[in-house]
Chains A and B, each alone.
Chain A
């Protein structure tokens, strides 16, 4: 049947176009003309895949050997520097503690006020019409923002004056204290205020006698 059909195709081609194609190979006998075929792919793969796998395993193994030696070397170096590090850490921590001690000690110097200078400066500002009866310096440790230790000083001056210009005299003293070059460096801005001004009471007190108190609040002096 196959031979007969082929013969018919041949004769039709021969009669119609005067072309002739001879096809004598059975379909089962036909082979691909392509360079890449399934068989060659299987052959190449069966060799190349194991080789590739082997190369991968070998390269990893070589890499592991290198890593192992690097690891060993590093472990040795870390161990060697370990004891030095411990000594160094102790020294660094010790230095931090010592610095802290020095800062604390310096806090004492920084928070110190030379009161003899302040007293002399205050005395200069007292007008002759005023008689001071008492002076009090008080001090307390405080914390600014709940963390910075400071010394806070307050000076209270008590005195008396007399006459129509009594109030003016007290204001002169207040202004003098505010403007004093020595005091203004140490006293808070607007830290000088007259906290008391009233008529003097007592057997010997006259109608025009006045007693007063002026408070000077000093700037907080950091203790660290």
Chain B
């Protein structure tokens, strides 16, 4: 097909052809290229997310393999320390029997007579409120009364404190009785032991030792 001889007519037709061509290109871009590019972008974003997820998962797995050994050692230390120094309950959750036996044994070994032993309290340990979790240990306090000389008392305290560095003498009162017997004082003191706030925690520790790869029950928040 030939273009018309007349310049004006020719220009008009060329302009129409140009508009048509631009329209066609626009349609092609809108209908095929743009959706393809959008879909490509979505895929790239998804791939990026998956790569990040994979990297995060890989780091977590690596961290866990590093932590596994330390975790085992920590569990073992908790178990050993708790077995030696945390006061265990007797039948029915009785702590007084065990605590009294410990003190009485030391007093007996030193030939010191005790006047009385009684449970003083079981209470919570004050802890950082930001933690928001309950403390793992509670305190069990036994109150002891006796009449003895100063050096006898020092020996008894040394025996009690040396046998368990985790207990704490939280109160002590020594009252002289110069008229009755200046060599013997009225002594009252409280000994505080750590006890498990829930028996289930110590059972869980033992369970973890049996199955080291599983970690704690409920640690994942379930």
Taking Cβ atoms with an 8 Å cutoff, the residues of A that contact B are 28, 38, 42, 45-46, 49, 53, 56-57, 60-61, 63-64, 67-68, 70-71, 74-75, 77-78, 81-82, 84-102, 104-105, 108-109, 111-116, 119-120, 123, 131-139, 141-143, 146-149, 151, 223-224
Taking CB atoms, residues of chain B closer than 8 Å to A105 are: 78, 81-82, 86, 136-137, 166, 194
Q: What is the minimal beta-carbon distance from B188 to any residue of chain A, in angstroms?
A: 10
Known: A89-B60, A97-B216, A147-B130. A70 touches B171 (CB 8 A): no
Tell whether B145 is near chain A: CB-to-CB under 8 Å: no
Interface centre among A28, A135, A138, by most B CB within 10 Å? A135
A89–B220 CB distance below 8 A:
yes
Name 15 extra pairs, CB < 8 A, besides A71-B46, A92-B67.
Answer: A57-B28, A60-B36, A74-B54, A88-B65, A95-B71, A98-B71, A98-B78, A99-B74, A102-B74, A104-B137, A105-B137, A112-B166, A136-B172, A146-B129, A223-B127
B54–A90 CB distance below 8 A:
no
CB-based nearest A residue for B137: A104
Question: Could you name 20 residue pairs across A and B whose Cβ atoms are closer than 8 Å?
Answer: A42-B17, A67-B43, A71-B50, A74-B50, A81-B57, A88-B63, A90-B216, A92-B64, A94-B71, A98-B71, A98-B78, A98-B208, A102-B78, A112-B161, A115-B157, A137-B170, A141-B125, A142-B126, A143-B128, A149-B126
A78–B57 CB distance below 8 A:
yes
A93–B169 CB distance below 8 A:
no
A91–B36 CB distance below 8 A:
no
Known: A60-B36, A95-B215. A88 touches B60 (CB 8 A): yes
Partner of A141, one of B71, B126, B161, B172: B126
Nearest 8 pairs of A and B residues by beta carbon:
A94-B215, A88-B64, A94-B216, A141-B126, A93-B219, A91-B215, A85-B57, A139-B170
Partner of A74, one of B47, B77, B125: B47
Interface centre among A63, A116, A131, A137, by most B CB within 10 Å? A116
B215–A93 CB distance below 8 A:
yes
By the criterion of a CB under 8 Å from any partner CB, how many residues of chain B are at the interface?
83
Interface of A is mostly: helix
A67–B40 CB distance below 8 A:
yes
B 135-152 contacts with A by CB, 8 A = 135-137, 150
A223 and B65 alpha carbons, distance in the complex (Å): 31
B 6-62 contacts with A by CB, 8 A = 14, 17, 21, 25, 28-29, 32-33, 36-37, 39-40, 43-44, 46-47, 50-51, 53-54, 56-58, 60-61
Q: What is the minimal beta-carbon distance from A144 to any residue of chain B, in angstroms?
A: 10
A148 and B127 alpha carbons, distance in the complex (Å): 7
| Segment of B88-96, B97-105, B109-117, B173-181 in the binding face | B173-181
A87 and B60 alpha carbons, distance in the complex (Å): 10
Partner of A60, one of B40, B176, B219: B40
A74 and B166 alpha carbons, distance in the complex (Å): 52
A115–B161 CB distance below 8 A:
yes
A78–B53 CB distance below 8 A:
yes
A71–B43 CB distance below 8 A:
yes
A109–B77 CB distance below 8 A:
no
A115 and B29 alpha carbons, distance in the complex (Å): 87
Taking CB atoms, residues of chain B closer than 8 Å to A141 are: 125-126
Tell whether B68 is near chain A: CB-to-CB under 8 Å: yes
A91 and B75 alpha carbons, distance in the complex (Å): 12
Known: A49-B25, A84-B61. A147 touches B129 (CB 8 A): yes
Partner of B57, one of A84, A102, A143: A84
CB-based nearest B residue for A156: B173
A137 and B174 alpha carbons, distance in the complex (Å): 9
B175–A133 CB distance below 8 A:
yes
